[in-house]
Structure 1
Amino acid sequence: MRMRKRSGVNYALALCSAACLVASFGKADAEDASSWRDLETKYIFGFTTGSGIGLEGEKEFTIDTVGRFGKRDGHYSATETKYEFEFTPTQFIQIEFGALGSTHSINGVTDLDDRRQFAASGAFAELRYLAIERTSSNPLAVTLAMEPTARSIDETSGARVHNYELETVVNADLELLRNRLYAGFNLLYEPEVTWASTGEVEREAKFGGSAALSLRIASNVVLGGEVWYLRHYDAANLTAFTGDAVLMGPTLYIQFTPKMFMTAAWNAQIWGREIGNPVSLNLSEFQRHRARLKFAWEF
């Protein structure tokens, strides 16, 4: 218990220090912010997704990799990469689709088979609808998103399965300071069903939300931090609660050119619980660390 508390304090202190550093850079450059071009806020919050859907007629190719690291024992490392094409047919709708690739490196983890593999793991699509548009008099924007996914490789174990997931998210953000300071919020519901090779059927769901704050320290650089609270259920209708977790960490967005940019984020689990298990952190349904690296090209 003491160790978990110290860890949380250390992460909080690190984030506060980072925020102070970011603020000092931002203050020095504040007089130039009015001349900066608008940001597409979808990408500036790390794992939290902003409301932006791009300009009408815009197309984009993205490579988006999420890595998950650390279980209770042994060695655990898994990644999933989206190879994604997206386009915006109207000013209120964005459509995305693509293929998934995954890697797993597992050794000595309780309840998981040792595995080292790379595989084509599935496909996905996403529909985003801009429900509330930001205007000069309204700093709030809200987008509704639905993402069905089909996988042949289990995200956690790397085993061969038939998995179907429907992620539903409310993406919202506020422009607190014009062209400079943004707050992002997500509300997530993610039910899924999995058929194992043994014929066993597993239904589960995640539910939770996030809050993020991002500061534009230069015309092409945004730094920030985010916190996530996630709950896991062994039922799609959220009736069999099994545990929850809080993850927190820094975020970075860099726009290399007007048509090419990068998003990076890292989250650590700073608190968690497993129902019926007194251990600290929840490393059964969640990971100790997760990281994200995304590159995108618009055309």
Structure 2
Amino acid sequence: MSFAAAATRIVILCFSTLIPSSLPTSAHAEDIDTEHLFGFMIGTDVGSLGERELQSQTTGRFSKAGGQYRALNQELELEFVPANNFRIEVGSSFGAFNINGVPGLEDRRQMNWQGASLDLRYRFLDRRTAPFGLTFALETHGNRLDETTAEPASNFGTELTLAIDRELVPDRIVAAFNLMYEPEWTRFSSTGLAQRESTAGGAIAVMAQILPGFLIGGETRYLRKYEGVGLDEFAGQALFAGPTAYLQLSERSRLTFAWSTQLWGRPTASTASLDLVNFERHQARLIFGINF
């Protein structure tokens, strides 16, 4: 059994043990809120006016082209909604790395504070009153470690996301689409070398509410990596897909888990069937949030 299959089976087993005691017994589906429904994507909901949330987001990235590669990012975020259809999120993150024998990367085993982020979202269309929901998000971050090599660096990036979603079956099935573009600037502290790169891509997801407050589905992402912030020189591409599960733990708390595996990819000037130079083989994300 592969590592991805084993991990997915464990997650499903964990959720199956939680369902009987955690979910309401009513057979009526609850309203679907897509704000925190997905793992690697975003929905168009942004919360209600005056709403405040504390969120923990843990992201793991595993396996490169040879050797051992594990990167873990733990981010704590504070979200609040100061105006209708507008959400602000500020966050701080720590990074942990275990890199050993990976071609092109120095061996590292460390954990340190990584950086801070600011996420702004504005909803232009509400799917409850329009044919579909439409939200634009701008997330900017500054890091003191390179997220791939773990080298000390000054790293700045901005991720622009256009999100669209629509309920295919009211309160039962929802579909979402994201269009993403992320330019990044990095200057490595040890050498002074500067690097500019960008990532662009699209993603789709479908989630179904099988019990009140419990949704399962999947996300598929196609990503392209470029040298230069203006999509200058193509460097590689990858297709990721995997399951997502969302569980409403209580009226104020929630849990989201997503696992994504690279199904196909290719770095430039290569005949490989996976791009393990610009991307990882597996990615996982666990999100816990609570309103206060």
Query: Normalized against structure 2, the TM-score is what?
Result: 0.90
- 1:216-295 pair list within 5 angstroms: 216-295=209-288
1:46 Cα deviation from its structure 2 partner? 2.1
Residue in 2 that maps onto 1:151: 143
TM-aligned CA deviation for residue 159 of structure 1: 0.7
Give 1:277's aligned amino acid.
Answer: S
C-alpha distance after superposition, 1:125-162 (max 9, x if no partner): 010000111225x3411110001100001101111000
2:214–2:248 CA contact under 8 A, matched in 1: yes
Q: Is the 8 A contact 1:64 1:82 kept in 2?
A: yes
The structure in which a higher percent of residues are helix is 1
Could you tell me how far apart the structure 1 residues matched to 2:254 and 2:54 are?
A: 11
The aligned residue for residue 72 of structure 2 is: 79
Decide which moves more: 123-132 or 35-44: 35-44
Which sections of structure 2, spanning at least 5 residues, go unmatched? Answer: 13-25
| One-letter identity of the residue aligned with 1:81 | Q
**Matched residue type, 1:134:** R
* 1:128 maps onto 2:121 in alignment: yes
- The amino acid of 1:74's aligned partner reads G
Letter aligned with residue 65 of structure 1: T
SS in 2 for 1:257: coil
- 1:22 is matched with none
Could you say which residue in structure 1 is the equivalent of 2:16?
Answer: none
SS at match of 1:213: strand
Q: Give, in whole Å, the separation in 1 of the partners of 2:74 and 2:163.
A: 21
Distance 1:191 1:141 in 2: 26
TM-score (norm 1): 0.88
In the TM superposition, residue 180 of structure 1 has moved relative to its aligned partner by 0.6
CA distance in structure 2 between the aligned counterparts of 1:144 and 1:210, rounded to whole angstroms:
15
| Partner residue in 1 for 2:96 | 103
Number of positions where the alignment pairs a residue of Structure 1 with one of Structure 2:
274
Q: CA separation of 1:291/1:260 partners in 2, compared to 1, >3 Å: closer, same or farther? A: same
Larger mean Cα displacement after TM superposition, 127-136 or 110-119? 127-136
CA separation in 1, counterparts of 2:188 and 2:226? Answer: 18
Q: Percent identity?
A: 39
Question: Whole-Å Cα distance in 2 between the matches of residues 42 and 184 of structure 1?
Answer: 11
The aligned counterpart of 2:159 is 167
The equivalent residue for 2:173 is 181
* 1:4 matched residue in structure 2: none
Alignment check: 8 A CA contact 1:72 1:283 kept:
yes
Q: Do structure 1's residue 55 and structure 2's residue 48 form an aligned pair?
A: yes
Contact 1:139 1:175 in 2 (8 A): no
- Partner letter of residue 183 of structure 2? P
The offset of 1:73, in angstroms, is: 0.3
Distance 2:247 2:128 in 1: 25
Alignment correspondent of 1:69: 62
> What does residue 193 of structure 2 align with?
200
Match of 1:29 in 2: none
In the alignment, the residues of structure 1 paired with residue 43 and residue 64 of structure 2 have an alpha-carbon distance, to the nearest angstrom, of 30
Tell me if 1:210 matches 2:203: yes
Counterpart of 1:148, as a letter, is: T
On the 8 A contact 1:93/1:128 being kept in 2, the answer is: yes
**AA at the equivalent of 1:207:** A
Aligned counterparts of 2:289 and 2:36: Cα–Cα separation in 1: 10
C-alpha distance in 2, partners of 1:73/1:202?
24
Q: How far 1:45 moved relative to its partner?
A: 2.5
Secondary structure of the equivalent of 2:271?
A: coil
Q: Which amino acid counterpart does residue 182 of structure 2 have in structure 1?
A: E
3-state secondary structure, aligned to 2:35: helix
